[in-house]
Chains A and B, each alone.
Chain A
Amino acid sequence: MIEQALLYLAGAFFGTLGFAVLTRVPRRTLLAAGGIAAVVYMVYWLLSLAGLSEHTAVFFGTTVGSVLGHLCARKMRVINTVFLMSAIVPVVPGLGLYRMMDSLGRGQMAQGGAQGVQAMIIIAMTALGLIVGSLSDRTIHKRGRRKA
C-alpha cells in the first residue's frame, strides 16, 4: 500500500513536471507544480480507496489542487494558470479516452459512447473542482484582507 502510494506520488510529480516543462512554465515553479499534482492525485486515490465514486474523488482532488494552486500563485507571485493546470493534469481521464477511441475504432459504438460520456463527466468534474477551488480561494482571500 505504502509502496503503491509512493509510486503514484512519484508518477504524478514527475509526469506533471515533464508536462510543465513542455508548457514552458517559469523554472522556479516546477517543483511546486509537481508537488500540487502529487497532492491532487493522492486525494483522488485515497478517496477512491475510501469508497467514493471516481467522479467525486476527481472533484475533491481538483478542488484541493485549485485552492493550493491559488495559494502558491499568490505566495510565489506567478500567474495561477501554471498551478491550476498542474491540478487537473494528473486526473485527466487519459485511459478512459483511449478506451473510447479503441472501442470506436473497433466499431463498438455503444461501448465507445458510454466510455466517452464517462470521460466527459470526469472532465466536467475537474472543471467544477477548479471553479469551486477558485471560489473558495476568493472567499478566504477576501476574509483575510478584511481581518488585516
Chain B
Amino acid sequence: MQTETAWSDTEMEALQLAAQLILENGGETFRAEETVRRMGEGFGLNEVESFAVPSGLFISYRTEEGKLETSVRRVHKQGTNLTIVDQTNHISRAVAAGKLGASEAYIRLREVARLQQKRLGWSAVLAAGICAGGFAFLFQGTWLEALTALAVAAATQGACLLMGKVHESWILSDILGGFMTALLPVLAGRWIPGLNTEAVIAGALMPLVPGVAMTNAVQDTFRGDMVSGVSHGVSALLTAFMIAGGALLASAVLRILAGGGI
C-alpha cells in the first residue's frame, strides 16, 4: 500500500513539475496542458484534466482504484528559457511513447529544472550587442550605427545584469533598459558626427522586445485560450510601456541637460 501511494505521488509530482517548468520559462499554457495530458496518459492514468494560466495550474486524474487526485500549484515566472521548455517537451513525448516511467521522468525533469539556476551572465551582453547591431541595419543604419547600437545594447544589458544582482525586478530592468537605450545614442551623437541616432535607438531597443510573450499571446489565443492569450498580450504591452517610460524619462533628462525644462 505504501509503495502504491509513493508511486502515485511521483506521478503527480512529475506532472506538476513538467507543467511548472513550461510555464516558468516562457512556454504557452496550451503546451503545459497538453504536456500534462500526454504524460498522464503515458502513465496509464484515467480522466486526466488540467487547467493552466500563466500564473498557476490545476491537475486532476483518476487512479486505478477510482480515487480522484487533484493538485493546485502557483507559478512564478522565472524568465525566458526555451531550452528548458523544449527539453520538458521531449521528456513528455518519451513518457507518451512508453520509454520513461514516472520515477525516471521525474528524475529527468529535476535535472532539467537545475538548468534554471544557470544564468546567461556576460554572454547575454554579447548577444544583446549582436542583436542590436544586426537590427540597426534594418532601420537604415550603416556600420557606424550598427557598431554604436552594439555598444549601447551591450552597455544596457550589462547595467541590467548588475542591477539584477542588487535587486531582481523585471519592471526596473525594463525601465532602465528604455532609459539607457534612449539616452546613450543621443549622447554619442554629440561626439560622433553624422550619427543616425534614430537607427541606433531602434536597433538597441530590439533586445528588449517581448518577442516570446507576443508569440505566446498569438499561439494561446489561436488555440481558443482567451484568458492566457490576453494575459500574455498584456504582459507584452506592460513591458513595452515600461521601456517607453524609461525612454521618456531619458528625453526629459536630455532636455534638462540641454537647458530646457521637463
Contacts and interface: CB of A to CB of B under 8 A. Distances in A.
A18 B27 contact: no
B175 interface: no
A23 B80 contact: yes
B205 interface: yes
Nearest to B206: A94
B135 A11 contact: yes
Interface string B162-199: 00000000000000000000100000000000000011
Interface in B109-148: 120, 123-124, 127-139, 146
B233 to A, nearest CB: 9
B28 interface: yes
Contacts, number: 168
A11 B133 CA distance: 8
A43 to B, nearest CB: 14
Interface residues of A, number: 47
A18 B203 contact: no
Given A79-B27, A94-B202, A95-B198, A12 B134 contact: yes
- Most chain A CB within a 10 A radius of its CB, from B83, B205, B247: B83
A39 interface: no
A101 B181 CA distance: 13
B84 to A, nearest CB: 8
Given A18-B128, A26-B82, A26-B86, A84 B134 contact: no
Nearest to B199: A95
Interface residues on B, range: 35 or more
Interface string A9-45: 0111111111101111111000000000000010000
B218 A101 contact: no
A102 B136 CA distance: 18
Interface stretch (B38-46, B47-55, B100-108, B207-215): B207-215
Interface in A81-102: 81-82, 84-85, 88-90, 92, 94-95, 97-99, 101-102
Given A81-B85, A131-B222, A23 B212 contact: yes
A81 B206 contact: no
A71 interface: no
A52 interface: no
Residue with the greatest number of chain A CB neighbours at <10 A, chosen from B28, B31, B81, B86: B86
A104 to B, nearest CB: 7
B82 A81 contact: yes
A144 B28 CA distance: 26
Contacts of B219: 81, 84, 130, 134
B17 interface: no
Contacts of B90: 77
27 contacts: A15-B203, A17-B131, A17-B134, A18-B207, A21-B131, A22-B120, A23-B80, A24-B82, A24-B120, A41-B138, A79-B82, A81-B82, A82-B82, A85-B211, A88-B211, A90-B135, A92-B209, A94-B206, A95-B139, A99-B198, A101-B247, A101-B251, A105-B252, A127-B217, A130-B215, A130-B222, A134-B219
Interface of A: 7-8, 10-19, 21-27, 41, 77-79, 81-82, 84-85, 88-90, 92, 94-95, 97-99, 101-102, 104-106, 123, 126-127, 130-131, 134
